[in-house]
Amino acid sequence: MALRYAFFPGCVIPAKYPHFESATRAIAKVLDMELVDLPFSCCPPTSNMKLVHYDSWLALAARNLCVAEEQELDILTTCTGCVSTLKEANYIMRQKPNRRRKINRILEKAGRHYEGTIEVFHLLDVLYDHIGLEAIEEKCIYDLNMKVASHYGCHLFRPSYIMYPEFLSPSHSYVPTSIDEITEVLGGEPVKYMRRFLCCGYPLGANVDEDASYEILREKLYYIKAAHAELIAVACASCFEQFELGQVMIKKKYKETYKLPTLYISQLIGLAMGIDNETLGLKEHIHKIKKLLPRLQERTGRMRATL
C-alpha cells in the first residue's frame, strides 16, 4: 500500500526551483509514495509575519493544517522553512488551549476548525523514517561513487523541542546523520568536514549583512574542499541558493574558485535511481554535475526507473 501525504511544496521551490519539486515527485513515484495536492497557502514564514502580527501568522499556518486534517493526511513538505512554521504552529495549537480557542474563532470565519489530528514532516524525515534506507537502496540502479558533503541547514532541527522532541531524551543524539546514511545506500561516500553544522549564512545575506554572510559561506566551503568533497547535498532551498550563487560571489569578492555542484536531496536520490536529467533539472544549475556523471556505476540486475 502506498504511503499518502498532503504535499506542501511551499512558495520558494515552485517559483525558483521547480526542478526540486519535479525530482521529488519522480522519486516519490518510484518509492510508491502518493503526494496529494491540496489548496494550501503560504506557510507563512516565521521570519516576517510572525514578527508583525502573531495571531495572523498562526491563523494562516493553522488553516494549512486544517486543510490536511480534512483529508486525514499528514503533511510532507520539501521546504525547511515551511516545516519549521507548520510544526511550530501545530505545537502551539496543541499546547496552548487559550490560543487555540482564539485562533479557531478566526478560522471559523473561513469555515475551518483546527483539531490537531495530523503531523508535519520534511521530505528527509519521510525518506529516512517512513520509507527507510533499505527501500531506497532497492530502487537504485547506480552507485554514485562520489564524495558528498551534507549540509542540513538550521530550520530543519531547531528549536529541538518542537522539531525533534525525541532528541531531548538521553537515548537519542541531536547530531543529524540522515543525509549521510542515505548517501551511503546510494553508493556515495559521505564526507565529514569541520564546521559541518555551521549555518550556511543565508539569513544574514538576505536580511542583515551580506559580507558576513559570505564570510560564513567561505569558511564552510574551505572546509568542504579541504575534505575533498566533490558535491554538496542539501535539504533546504535557501541553503541551495547560498551555496549555488554564493560560490559565484566568493569568486568575485575573494578570487577563490570552488565549483562544487550542489544538489537537493531528491535530485541526489534521483541520480542513483536513473531518473532522467531533465526531470532532475540538472542543467538548471550554475555549477554543473556533468563532469561527475561518468562516475555512476550501474548495479547489476537493476531496472531504470520509469515515470
pLDDT in tens, 94-107: 999 999 999 999 99
Asked if 7 and 61 sit in the same domain, the reply is yes
Predicted local distance difference test score (pLDDT) of residue 229: 98
Predicted local distance difference test score (pLDDT) of residue 301: 66
pLDDT exceeds cutoff 60 at 188: yes
Residue finishing a domain among 122, 142, 174: 122
Containing 34, the helix (H) or strand (E) segment is strand 33-37
pLDDT single digits (tens) 215-250: 999 999 999 999 999 999 999 999 999 999 999 999
Asked if 82 and 161 sit in the same domain, the reply is no
Q: 307 lies in a domain?
A: no
Q: 183 lies in a domain?
A: yes
Q: 303 lies in a domain?
A: no
Three-class secondary structure of residue 218 per DSSP: helix
Residue from 74, 101, 77 nearest 12 by CA: 77
Report the number of distinct structural domains present in the chain.
2
Set of cell numbers at residue 193 = 568536514
Q: 305 lies in a domain?
A: no
Q: 82 lies in a domain?
A: yes
- CATH number for the domain spanning 20: value is 1.20.1050.140
**Nearest-5° angle of CA 50, CA 176, CA 165?**
55
Contact call for residues 89 and 62 (beta carbons, < 8 A): yes
Helices 178-185 & 265-273 angle (0-180, nearest 10): 10
pLDDT exceeds cutoff 90 at 51: no
pTM value?
0.94
Phi, psi of 41, deg, nearest 5: -115, -175
Asked if 93 and 143 sit in the same domain, the reply is no
Asked if 95 and 155 sit in the same domain, the reply is no
Contact call for residues 234 and 20 (beta carbons, < 8 A): no
**210 is in which domain, residue-wise?**
132-298
Asked if 246 and 184 sit in the same domain, the reply is yes
pLDDT single digits (tens) 55-112: 999 999 999 999 999 999 999 999 999 999 999 999 999 999 999 999 999 999 999 9
Asked if 136 and 168 sit in the same domain, the reply is yes
Dihedral angle over CA of 125, 47, 284, 227, nearest 10: -60
Q: 169 lies in a domain?
A: yes
Asked if 154 and 241 sit in the same domain, the reply is yes
Asked if 115 and 141 sit in the same domain, the reply is no
